[in-house]
Amino acid sequence: MTILLNGIGVSQGIAIGNAYIYVRATTKATEYNVPARYHDKEIARLRMAVNEASKQLHEIKTKIARETPEDILAFIDSHLLMLEDPAFDEGAALIIKEFSCNAEWALQIQCDRLVQIFDEMEDPYLKTRKDDVVHVVQRIQHCLSEKPETTIEPVKLKGRIVISDDLTPADTLMMQHEKVAAFVTEFGGPMSHTAILARNLGIPAIVGVHNARQLIHPTEKLIIDGHYGTVIGDPDARSLKHYRNLRQQSHERKAQLNRLINKPAITQDGVAIVIQGNIDRPEDIRNLKHFDDTGVGLYRTEMLFLENSKLVDEEIQFKTYKRTLFRLKGKPLTIRTLDLGADKEIQDAMGQGPMAHNPAMGLRAIRRCLKEPEYFIPQLCAIMRVAAYGDVKMMIPMMTSIDELEQISELIEHAKELLRQRKVRFNEQIEIGAMIEVPAAALSSDVFADRLDFLSIGTNDLIQYTLAIDRIDDEVNYLYNPLHPAVLKLIRITIEAGKKAKIPVSMCGEMASEPRYTRLLLGMGLEYFSIQANAILEIKHIINNSNLSQLQNQAEEIMRCHDLHEIEALVDKLNN
């Protein structure tokens, strides 16, 4: 009998194949007393398990390294870094001594503590990093129990659709290596590593399909629609024919878009549009180059700090940024200064104190940097040093006032003087820009434009601050709408301020990566897009098939509207 299950489509594509139910052996930590005289022995057992877990990941990495891109392997590297983090073995060792308990129980306590920290974070990507903690702890627990994890049988995976409760990055990579057709998991979200890996690897994937392992039979024929998050079990002949046609159309569409790789983005009436990419780490350049030989309009530097769980000194930052620049091979690089705050924290506590009641409104981004210049100045120095080697710009997040800009300018001049005294090579004339992501900044964008070299609209925060809603709060995120008239007005104000001052204005938020809004943004005058790598070809295709002069008239009609439903209807008409 045909069944229909729904989840969250996190990686687009149609897959048709037989199910493979992947069941991981589970270990449940139980507590027992360990007398003080045996504490050292128990700690040694814990550390042996940590070393064994690290050995297993290295073995997995060796098996797939030859044909797996470096940026994909970075997911396993992040787990290896966690295994080296004292938070696991040293933290658990202290718990063994404090509570006279066994290693399994101490590790579980430490895991729960770390997960709670991530649960308190607001950033959706960082919140899902708790999955990494759980995955690493589970691997150590297996090593402690000396029970093997469920092994993957390659002969059964080729062309199969894997059904699991969840998948670790190592699982995902091994299954991709064996050419699975798709993934379906019972848990996870769009920012989980399984989701990110599936998108990067081009594998259709759906997460959050509750009870999938109970409702789907082993070897059952399945249809997976990664766009709509639909799973069809035991499909009839009509459904199979329909989805096979859709899969063929999808392949043809992909081939059509691939012809745009490394081609310019130019409207039908001859206006060149700049498309650049957003990245978090140097390894992301490989994925960016897979879609286009372009530059980076947003490099989120806080990931370097968060992944190391500590403050990173100037020299490490310099080498990391330089490696990123050199991988771009002459293309421009825009480096955003740290956007750390109460929701994105590191273990080297910068500014001790309780968690903010509303982190998004708290001490974050440039506010944090101005309060703690001892870690901001080394970053300024590192960025200006790298700018001596190529086209590098510096972008300041969360700007709200000219007073902040003056304070930043003073710190930049101070950093320059330090570099002069050290006789270190750097770029005296580095271009400085600001992210426009709060209404106050958008309304003051004409003043910022007169004093800066470029502006970049960060729509993620601009929308939530304008509409006073938390975009990751299930109770109110239905109100998050980029087409709200107030949001569109703030975007228009910023674009016009840039044109008047004759400086570039880009958009680096998620709105720029969404094809539905591309023609509207073009009509509003946006000429610089900084987007996710996997959106580049689709956005470029829309640009190349758009007439800018026509879009300007249609955008004006939309800007005159006050009714949200009418605006949405006009945007849909714009895209037909």
Is residue 400 scored above 60 in pLDDT? yes
Is residue 518 scored above 80 in pLDDT? yes
Find, among 541, 445, 423, the residue nearest to 497 by Cα.
445
Write the pLDDT tens digit of every residue in 415-429.
Answer: 999 999 999 999 999
Is residue 383 scored above 70 in pLDDT? yes
d(CA 23, CA 216) in angstroms, rounded, equals 13
Report all structural domains of the chain as residue ranges with CATH numbers, in order of start.
3-24+150-240 (3.50.30.10), 36-145 (1.10.274.10), 258-351+364-574 (3.20.20.60)
527 to 160, 299, 399, 486: CA distances (angstroms): 43, 19, 22, 21
Answer for the pair 296, 329: CB distance below 8 angstroms, yes or no. no
Find, among 477, 390, 402, the residue nearest to 434 by Cα.
402
DSSP string, 366-421: HHHHHH-HHHHHHHHHHHHHHGGGS-EEEEE-S---HHHHHHHHHHHHHHHHHHHH
Is residue 313 scored above 80 in pLDDT? yes
Residues 6+ apart with CB under 8 A from 372: 350, 351
For 12, the token pair is 């687009």
Q: 221 pairs with which residues across the strands?
A: 18
d(CA 49, CA 147) in angstroms, rounded, equals 12
Per-position b or e across 79-112, b if 16+ CB within 10 A of its CB = beebbebebbbebbbebbeeebbbbbbbbbbbbe
pLDDT of 351: 44
pLDDT of 342: 44
State the burial class of residue 194 (Cβ atoms within 10 Å of its Cβ: 0-12, 13-18, 19+). buried
Find, among 134, 113, 108, 145, the residue nearest to 27 by Cα.
145
Active site residues: 193, 508
pLDDT of 22: 85
Is residue 184 scored above 90 in pLDDT? yes
For 424, the token pair is 């270190």
**140 vs 272 pLDDT, higher one:** 272
**What are φ and ψ of residue 232, in 5° steps?**
-115, 120
Assign 121 a pLDDT band (cuts: 50, 70, 90).
Answer: low
d(CA 67, CA 505) in angstroms, rounded, equals 39
State the burial class of residue 272 (Cβ atoms within 10 Å of its Cβ: 0-12, 13-18, 19+). exposed
**What are φ and ψ of residue 211, in 5° steps?**
65, 25
Classify residue 340 by its DSSP letter. -
Q: What percent of the chain has pLDDT over 70?
A: 86
Residues 6+ apart with CB under 8 A from 9: 205, 206, 225, 226, 227, 228, 229, 230
Q: What's the average model confidence in pLDDT over 308-315?
A: 82
> What's the mean per-residue pLDDT of the chain?
86
Write the pLDDT tens digit of every residue in 12-31.
Answer: 899 999 999 987 666 678 88
Answer for the pair 232, 240: CB distance below 8 angstroms, yes or no. no
pLDDT of 158: 87
Find, among 526, 304, 543, the residue nearest to 436 by Cα.
526
Write the pLDDT tens digit of every residue in 440-477.
Answer: 999 999 999 999 999 999 998 899 889 987 655 556 66
**What are φ and ψ of residue 536, in 5° steps?**
-60, -50
> Please, where are the H alpha helices in 427-529?
439-443, 445-451, 459-467, 485-501, 510-513, 518-523
Weakest-pLDDT range from 112-121, 149-158, 192-201, 516-525: 149-158
Answer for the pair 543, 518: CB distance below 8 angstroms, yes or no. yes
